[in-house]
A and B are shown apart, each in its own frame.
Chain A
Amino acid sequence: MREFEYVAPKTVKEVINLLASYKEKATVLAGGTDVVVRLRDEIIEPEFVVDIKHVDELKGIKFDKSSGLFVGALATMHEIENDKNVKEFYPYYADACGHVGSKQVRNKATSVGNLCTASPLGDSLTPMFCLDAIVVIEGPKGKREVPVREFITFVRKTVLERDELVLGIKMPYIEGLKGIYTKNARRHEVDLSNIVATICKVNDEYRIAYGSVAPTPIRLVKTEEFLKGKKIDDKVIEEAENILESEISPISDLRATKEYRISVSKSILKNSLKALNN
């Protein structure tokens, strides 16, 4: 690991000021389960590491039905998967956070960190995509809010400026919404996903988000449009699977082939649609 200066500010304002003066020389450290690995492998070589874990404003998970869920930047996967409200009103999100890495990793890793890492296969991201989560950002010019689908622009790329910090994410509460999270990996625990997906149903409409099938997690809007109002039977599922295939562009890598990923994606769609309509 290269040398760097370590700073641990206590307020969001201090963080922003530090980021504004260090710019691309700084890396923000939250849970560190991704950042420390990248520091160790010297994939990133910052001059300053800004540890935000002492910023109390960034802690916690809040919920009420009118404003929905707010997940602070420091909420860990462990806190989210065990949160009473998340378990009751966003069980697929609790599930997603509970499938990240190992218990040791979940005790440190944050869901907002997962978002900022912007991996195509980020385990906790597809629930955010289904709910059209809003990313709350603060910078020198004040706060701004960005829909999650616009936040991630490419593999490990986001719209976040170097002097900005994500404060947390907002996820609306939608009455009657049911969701299913599915992760396919070589090993049940502690593995990267071959395919990760969240499929939600509200009234007769569907929201379908997949990870690891494109450079960013995506919503399958054509498949959603096709399924809208339809009675789910084998023929509809088969047609939906074909539309799904046209919307995804998975690659072959060391974990799985493109063909396997397409096949698994279809199975997840089929199983989720059946379960949601049971």
Chain B
Amino acid sequence: MKKIDIKFILNGEPVELTVAPNHTALRVIREQLDLTGAKEGCGAGECGACTIIVDGLAVNSCLMLAPELDGKNVLTVEGLAHDGKLTDVQQAFIDHVALQCGYCTPGFIMSTTAFLEENKKPTREEIEIALSGNLCRCTGYKRIIEAVEDVVAKRGGK
């Protein structure tokens, strides 16, 4: 099996890497790049724990083969905070205690981050639909939805 050389932008920095084609993007990000924010839950695109943002869109990194990262602009949860300052989405999840065990949280943060770029004034229903690809087995979702609504309100959406 021929390994593949890829180049892409990861959290604002250019990365050059040699990857095995039968590894997923998630595996490369976690095991070759040591960024363990994105998690593997189901490995089949149902739970969203592996969500990353590729060229502005939230995707399941478990459903992406490593070579598919070539030429992409990739953002993981590790790329959000700058100089120790969290983004408003991250801060809202803390303020609302929108997490318990935390396993799903990076996925929710990434889905929310991408979604609020696309829809700046979402309704509660739109938020629920946008986040329906992220499963949380602890919170019951209420606090997560409230955290997102808080971000919308503070950004002046409502």
Contact = CB atoms under 8 A, between A and B. Distances in A.
B1 A3 contact: yes
Contacts of A6: 2, 4, 21, 65, 67
B73 to A, nearest CB: 14
Nearest to B57: A107
Nearest to B51: A104
A32 B64 contact: yes
A236 interface: no
Interface residues of A, number: 28
Contacts of A189: 129, 132-133
Nearest to B21: A6
Interface stretch (A34-42, A89-97, A204-212, A254-262): A34-42
A78 interface: yes
A189 B20 CA distance: 33
Contact of B45 (A5, A78, A105): A105
A188 to B, nearest CB: 7
B41 interface: no
Contacts of A202: none
Interface residues of B, number: 32
B15 interface: no
B3 to A, nearest CB: 9
A37 B4 contact: no
Nearest to A98: B129
B45 A33 contact: yes
Contacts of A36: 24, 62-65
A103 B63 contact: no
Given A1-B22, A51-B67, A53-B68, A108 B133 contact: no
B17 interface: no
Interface string A16-40: 0000000000000100110011011
B75 interface: no
B43 A104 contact: no
Nearest to B27: A1
B29 to A, nearest CB: 15
A40 B50 CA distance: 15
A8 interface: yes
Which residue among B43, B60, B130 has the maximum number of chain A CB atoms within 10 Å of its CB?
B60
A31 B130 CA distance: 19
Nearest to B61: A104
A2 interface: yes
Contacts of B129: 103, 189
Interface string B43-78: 111101001000001111011110110100000000
B116 to A, nearest CB: 12
Contacts of B8: none
A103 B133 contact: yes
A104 B43 CA distance: 13
B9 to A, nearest CB: 17
Contacts of A103: 58, 111, 115, 129-130, 132-133
A49 interface: yes
A49 B68 CA distance: 12
A190 interface: yes
Contacts of B65: 6, 29, 32, 36, 49, 51
A172 interface: no
A156 B4 CA distance: 31
Given A3-B1, A51-B68, A188-B132, A102 B48 contact: yes
Nearest to A48: B21
A108 B130 contact: no
A104 B133 contact: yes
B49 to A, nearest CB: 11
B1 A4 contact: yes
9 contacts: A6-B21, A37-B45, A40-B44, A102-B45, A102-B48, A103-B129, A104-B58, A107-B57, A107-B58
Q: 4 tightest CB-CB pairs across the interface, nearest first?
A: A102-B133, A189-B132, A6-B21, A3-B1
